Structure 1
């Protein structure tokens, strides 16, 4: 009986393996297709300071007319942009501050970015993460175990100090087995300081546009802004460093 069972077991494993890779292939294809469609549509061209300048009166009129509906629409647009990895999140955050003020502008930007990140995270985790984790080996497997052990600290660090692109962190977290809860908390909390900086800048951008002065987003990132963000990012790693220190001493 065992000899008869062996082929069927092997066939099941082969079928499962093909199904896993097929699901992973479809996931990658959908991500690539979505990126291509966004580029072809030219949607990302609207995420610029020049587009904000040209349409700012219309945007302000719509916010006044729609009230809370305008906030919900903005959050949805921000979430879709992040889910499809459209470049221009900084401009969206500046726009949020311009339309809704520094406080609500920060809140709406953080909500939109977090919801979009969760959407992309879940899509990749369900379609791609499991297949790679089950076959992970060597460096990838070590990264997965290390990231899982200290996921909150790592993610907070990457969110507070965005060394890597936002979309890349979303994909890495999904593939490396981070839980949805930790991903959501680290994303929501970690992007608040940066969002607050650009939303505050956006709240005062109207005077610059009225004066005809150039709007330079790079000028926002002064040492007075960057150094506190770096300090917060390093502080998020403190529990992990202490844990390793204690492990080294007891070991």
Structure 2
């Protein structure tokens, strides 16, 4: 009970900090001017919230890009805080934040931020689970934890590459892997670098997509040669590392018996037969 109270206190403090940071916007909205006419536009009240679709993502990106011109440090702090909040407390939706990084900071600065924040946030989640949640993780997901524990032991000699494989081909959600690794006695150094390297292709795809979407205003823009070339590069970036790690896994890793949800394939087949 003490562990849950401590975790709740940390979540509450982080939520309060993020709320205060997002509600104390720097001045500048009243001075937003039309780029074409040079006239004052009507003041629009924006509420900062995590985007849930592409329209909200585009609106939030435009707003933060405007603030970034005069308040780069504030926007950077706000984005990093929001990203770490989501990652640390295993809240799904990092893909939208990765795309937001690309739209606000550009493809390369956005990629660097996404890789760094993903790794730091996952490590914070690892530490929170290690201190407060190991017992609760086992109680809530006994079968999944048992399956992962067996696979970790089978691949102990190639543990780093096994974790890379799970990041490239998520047979279990990333957030679940973050909270489970302390239970599986994964060394934090191996965990840290497996997250940093293993999620580079995913982060690259999302960040680059966000960068492209921020410059697309019509369907004609999508089918331009420049956009198509960038989309092809994104596809290659995703396929090449995945193909290499998959080829390595055939000879060195034991991943049979797991499906895309991190559950036992054998057990699923038995359940289907009973039906």
TMscore range, shorter length = 0.5 to 0.7
Structural mapping, 1:169-184, within 5 Å? 169-184=177-192
**Secondary structure at 1:46's aligned position in 2?**
coil
- CA distance change for structure 1 residues 238 and 182 in 2, over 3 Å: closer, same or farther? farther
- TM-score w.r.t. the length of structure 1 is 0.66
Residue number in structure 2 paired with 1:162: 170
8 Å CA contact retained: 1:147, 1:154 = yes
Q: CA deviation at 1:236?
A: 5.6
**Structure 1 residues 135-187: Cα deviation after superposition (integer angstroms, max 9, x where no partner):** xx986763453354432112111112233221011122121110110000000
Structural mapping, 1:132-151, within 5 Å? 142-146=150-154, 148-151=156-159
Residue number in structure 2 paired with 1:118: 123
Structural mapping, 1:48-197, within 5 Å? 48-129=53-134, 142-146=150-154, 148-197=156-205
**Secondary structure at 2:125's aligned position in 1?**
helix
Q: CA deviation at 1:45?
A: 5.3
Distance in 2 (alpha carbons) for counterparts of 1:126 and 1:171: 11
- CA distance change for structure 1 residues 147 and 64 in 2, over 3 Å: closer, same or farther? farther
In the alignment of these two chains, the number of paired residues is: 208
Q: CA deviation at 1:100?
A: 0.8
Q: CA deviation at 1:213?
A: 8.3
Query: Would you say 1:237 and 2:249 are equivalent positions?
Result: yes
- TM-score w.r.t. the length of structure 2 is 0.61
Residue number in structure 2 paired with 1:206: 214
- CA distance change for structure 1 residues 227 and 75 in 2, over 3 Å: closer, same or farther? same
Higher helix content, 1 or 2: 1
